[in-house]
Structure 1
Amino acid sequence: MDSLESRKRTGLAPASLPLFGGDLVTIASFLIAGELSHGIDPVSQPLVVVETIVPFVIGWFVAAPLLRVYDRSALSTPLAAARLAAGTWLAAANIGLLLRGSPYFEGGTTWPFPLVIIGIGIVSLVTWRVIAARVLSTG
């Protein structure tokens, strides 16, 4: 494979900004849903909700470029989109859980929170990314 073809396959996808926005909305949405299920109101307790979301967004910022989740090939097929979303969330969630367990963030990582956050995150992000791959591949 020549270097020009290699650059075309590994460069940032034209849809990177909307994908990034969709990823962040997806992450924030399921975390906010979790807060609501625990009786935390995002309107009356916005800092509590932000402090829940921030460690996982930091994890996504760290994991996404390492796993090349915004490369052109990231949405080449629904299967590729699903694999990248799942792998990136596994890394991001673990970074987020480590941060939540640190003295810098409220909350914790007591059982079964890690399983719930990883499972719901994978389902949410894989669903979003597969839909994005299908829409962009038909457009």
Structure 2
Amino acid sequence: MDTPARSPASGIGRDVLALGAVDIAILAVIIVVGQLSHGVEPLAEPLVALETVVPFAVGWLVMAPLAGLYAPGVATSLTRTVRVTTVAWVAAANVGMILRASALFDGGAAWPFPLVMTGFGLLVLVGWRGAYAAYADTRR
């Protein structure tokens, strides 16, 4: 089995960086789609969009590695990927909600936003990660 290429400075593999970048991009898309459905124009109000994305991106960047999502072998095992992505997203969504409801960010987290954000995030992130794991497993 080939060893994934690693960044010399950080020791993080390119595959891990690519997966993390797609994860964050997916979170941003989920949030922008939600904003569009509520009449917010992210291009006209980029700070509003950014202020909604940042708490969840921070939550993801903290919780996904803690949950072990970027650990070796997780990305190629469907059952591990689904389980770890679920744990990571539920934790990250909670961190995001706490940050969003804090004085650090404008907008709050009024009901049913936590339920919708957690549900859609879970559906999309687990779906994407599960599809990637199934694909990666066939390539091994």
TM-score by length of 2: 0.87
Q: Which runs of 5+ in 1 are unaligned?
A: 1-10
- Aligned partner of 1:4 in structure 2 is none
Amino acid at match of 2:44: S
- Aligned partner of 2:106 in structure 1 is 106
Q: Secondary structure at the match of 2:74?
A: helix
- Aligned partner of 2:28 in structure 1 is 28
- Aligned partner of 2:43 in structure 1 is 43
- Aligned partner of 2:82 in structure 1 is 82
- Displacement of 1:14 after TM fit? 5.7
Identity %: 41
- Displacement of 1:13 after TM fit? 6.1
**Cα offsets for 1:51-72 (capped at 9, x unmatched):** 0000000001110121111011
- The range that moved more, 73-82 or 31-40, is 73-82
- Displacement of 1:73 after TM fit? 2.2
Which structure's residues are more often helix, by fraction?
1
Q: Matched residues in 1 for 2:84 and 2:102: separation? A: 27
Amino acid at match of 1:31: I
Q: Matched residues in 1 for 2:71 and 2:111: separation? A: 35
**Cα offsets for 1:45-95 (capped at 9, x unmatched):** 111000000000000111012111101121232121111111100000000
Q: Matched residues in 2 for 1:83 and 1:122: separation? A: 11
- Aligned partner of 1:7 in structure 2 is none
Task: Give the 3 Å change call, closer, same or farther, for CA 68–129 of structure 1 in structure 2.
Answer: same
TM-score by length of 1: 0.87
RMSD across aligned C-alpha pairs, in angstroms? 1.5
Task: Give the 3 Å change call, closer, same or farther, for CA 14–73 of structure 1 in structure 2.
Answer: farther
Provide runs of 4+ in structure 1 moved above 3 Å: 11-14
Q: How many residues align?
A: 129
